[in-house]
Amino acid sequence: MFLAWVVFVLHFSLEHGKIHTLHIPAVDDDDDKSNCEFSTWVEAGFFEGIVRNLTSASIIAMKDIEDCVFTINLNNSRFSVGDTFALPITVKDYGRKYAVTVTGHTAYKTPLGRVNVLMFFKVTGRTDPPKFIPPTPPNNQAYTVYVGGDFNVSVYAKPTVNDRNISKFNFLRRDGIHVQQTTMKSVPGDPTAVYISMGWSPLNGDIGKHIVCANAEDSNGGVRQIISTDHSQENVTIQYSSDVINGTLETKVAQVEFLALTPGPRQICLNATDR
């Protein structure tokens, strides 16, 4: 028995005054049925009251439990720009046949396992994020790829503000393996649109289900610098460097070191600003 796999972003920035639709990609290697729901009771922990209140106020709603699609309504007076909150999500997998165990698992009714994820959200003002355009495949598109074959797919994007341009694409796989991709290319006939292609030639060890996610950043996004407060008396040293997550996501890293003069907790504040 395999539990469901999920790939998701830990932190979302969502514009105030809009209704946002979010999707959690989930697959199960042994083809069990997966359902999503907002966590409750022990699985929700501290966030149970938040989930209950936001659900009763129709601010959050699980629109499609099978495809893991939910909405967050930030067109609500309860939220202001700068607010932050978190939501716990539970992904359950159900057998398609009756499973004989100590307790018994009825097909499609009794879960065989579950995965809990905690998603963080920050409410922002207007950001005008870039958008994917045709012929980008639709969200949650499924493909059958054969061992020894050569699979390629392209994604297209353009900014929603005329004085911006697409600066990069990010690809993320569930197993953290680097995604082979081409350089970014212009779309003929549209000076602001660009596209990038990813390729994969699966081997025998790749047999199973996989998830690949993509996003686009425009010239207004991305972390530019990390600023620290300068009020420490304990010789704090902060070194800045660049790193790459999963072979694709460029990040800035702040490594903090200091010599404590006395025992006890410390508080170090860092502020990351984007472009």
Which residues contact residue 88 at a Cβ distance below 8 angstroms, ignoring those fewer than 6 apart? 38, 39, 43, 44, 45, 47, 51, 116, 117, 118, 119
- Whole-number pLDDT of residue 184: 94
Strands 131-133 and 111-124: unpaired
CATH number for the domain formed by residue range(s) 131-218: 2.60.40
How far is 194 from 197, CA to CA, in rounded Å?
11
Q: Which CATH class is domain 4-124?
A: mainly beta
Query: Which pTM does this prediction carry?
Result: 0.66
Spell 66-98 as b/e; 16+ CB within 10 A means b. ebbbbbbbbeeeebeeeeebebbbbbbbbbeee
Q: Is 112 left (phi over 0), alpha (psi -120 to 50) or beta?
A: alpha
Question: pLDDT tens, 145-202?
Answer: 999 999 999 999 999 998 999 999 988 876 667 788 999 999 999 999 999 999 989 8
Model confidence pLDDT, tens digit, residues 240-257:
666 655 455 566 666 666
Sign of CA dihedral 181, 183, 188, 193: positive
Do the domains spanning 4-124 and 131-218 agree at the CATH topology level? yes
What pLDDT, on the 0 to 100 scale, is given for residue 139? 83
pLDDT for res 223 = 47
In the chain, domain spans? 4-124, 131-218, 223-274
